[in-house]
Amino acid sequence: MELSVLFFLTSGLFLGWALGANDAANVFGTAVGTRMIRFTTAAVICTVFVILGAVISGAGTTETLGKLGAINALPGSFMAAFAAALAVYLMTKAGLPVSTTQAIVGAIIGWNLFTNTATDPTALAKILSTWLICPILAAGFAIVLFKATTMALSRAKLHLIRQDAYTRLGLLLAGAFGAYSLGANNIANVMGVFVSASPFTDFEFAGLLTFSPTEQLFLLGALAIGFGVMTYSKRVMMTVGTGIMPLSPVATWVVVSHSMVLFLFASQGLESFLQSNGLPTIPLVPVSSSQAVVGAVLGIALLKGGRGIRWRVVGGIGAGWVVTPLIAGAVCFIGLFFLQNVFDQKVYAGGLGKAPVAIFSAPAGTAVGPDLAPAQPGISPYKR
């Protein structure tokens, strides 16, 4: 594999690291923030199950993201992933749980605008609708589970020590499920932009297993997510766990109901089951785990009358959700300009949409990049 290919893949690894640093908080933030589970324990479990979820069940949501904008050149994929990663990193540094889904969507739209490629309105509408549905659905699950859990505990009349032990076990199991769902649903955000331009080929392991190019990309991305969990996720975990409102031990377990939302939007098996029985299907879309966990926390808070909610923190999180895709889109657009016009990189391989918009006109007969015919006045060098 060429060194340049490895370089272009680094932005996907950067985005995976940023996702792990930020979104692990949505899986174990409430448990770690309330000190029901140690950070080290949470990080190890999260890393293992994120990798399993990404490799085993990560393909479903990638198709929808690809319809939004199938970036078909490695330099373009590099810049889209880098722009999304930078936006997520800036929000993570501020301690805000933001959406990598929103970041990569903003970056893809930035690529579409630069290359003059049409954005699929159906795919965009499907993704945007989940940004509204996701927190509402998570809040509904959290309310139902909270009521059911408190009712079951009151009838069981467990000793406080045993109840504490069961709660910790429940948090570990729910966290493992949440990490699996996170990997399955959000790996498309990390490596989805590289699928169309993947440099890998089928890889056989001991003649028993065959890893497709997509699975190899997902494995790399999942390892990067795990590294982000281990190295930089603790601060955002504390924001989710204690920043929005104080949570009881039971409430911390119920908040992981957001994992159910991620699983619903990533399960190909569930989609096939619904189709075979003639039922409406749930779209396979990479949804925001940040929106889901915040929706779950607010659902429990509203069930309790809304007391104790730190609305200033909630407002900051909401502002981060708005700013993140804008930053990613702007960085991607500007970065593509430099890649194409300064570093002579093909950010668009042709065959999709229209040719990239000409940023400037070159005199006739002037060479504008490697392997390209002389440019004509006012014509993009990528137009065939």
pLDDT in tens, 14-39: 999 988 988 777 788 778 877 889 98
Q: Is the pTM here over 0.85, yes or no?
A: no
**Which of 172, 261, 185 minimizes the C-alpha distance to 221?**
185
Q: Is the pLDDT of residue 359 over 50?
A: no
Using the predicted structure, report yes or no on whether residue 328 has a pLDDT greater than 90. Answer: yes
Helix or strand run (H / E) with residue 338: helix 311-341
- The Cα–Cα gap between 80 and 11 comes to 8
- Give pLDDT, residue 113: 94
Share of the chain above pLDDT 70, in %: 86
- For the segment 96-128, what is each residue's pLDDT rounded down to a tens digit? 778 788 899 999 999 999 999 888 888 888 888
**DSSP state letter for 117:** P
Q: Give the CA-trace dihedral at 99, 102, 107, 112, to 10 degrees.
A: 170
Q: What is the pLDDT of residue 16?
A: 92
| Mean pLDDT confidence for 190-216 | 79
Q: Is residue 357 predicted with pLDDT exceeding 60?
A: no
pLDDT for 243 equals 65
Q: What is the pLDDT of residue 318?
A: 85
Q: If you average pLDDT over residues 254-264, what whole number do you get?
A: 79
Q: What is the pLDDT of residue 325?
A: 94
Band of pLDDT at residue 329, cut at 50, 70 and 90:
very high
The encoded tokens of residue 258 equal 């957001």
Range with the poorest average pLDDT among 11-20, 97-106, 306-315, 318-327? 306-315
Q: Does the pLDDT at position 376 exceed 60? A: no
Instruction: Return left, alpha or beta for 351; rule: phi > 0 is left, psi -120 to 50 is alpha, else beta.
Output: left
Q: What is the 3-state secondary structure (H, E, C) of 208-234?
A: CEEECHHHHHHHHHHHHHHHHHHHHCH
Q: What whole-number distance in Å separates Cα of residue 331 and Cα of residue 107?
A: 8
How many Cα atoms sit within 13 Å of 151 on the Cβ side?
Answer: 6
Average pLDDT across the chain, whole number = 81
- How confident is the model over 261-275, as pLDDT tens digits? 888 887 778 878 888
pLDDT (0 to 100) of residue 240: 67
| Distance of alpha carbon 274 from the chain centroid | 25
Q: What is the pLDDT of residue 365?
A: 45
Residues 6+ apart with CB under 8 A from 160: none
Stretch 134-146: mean pLDDT: 90
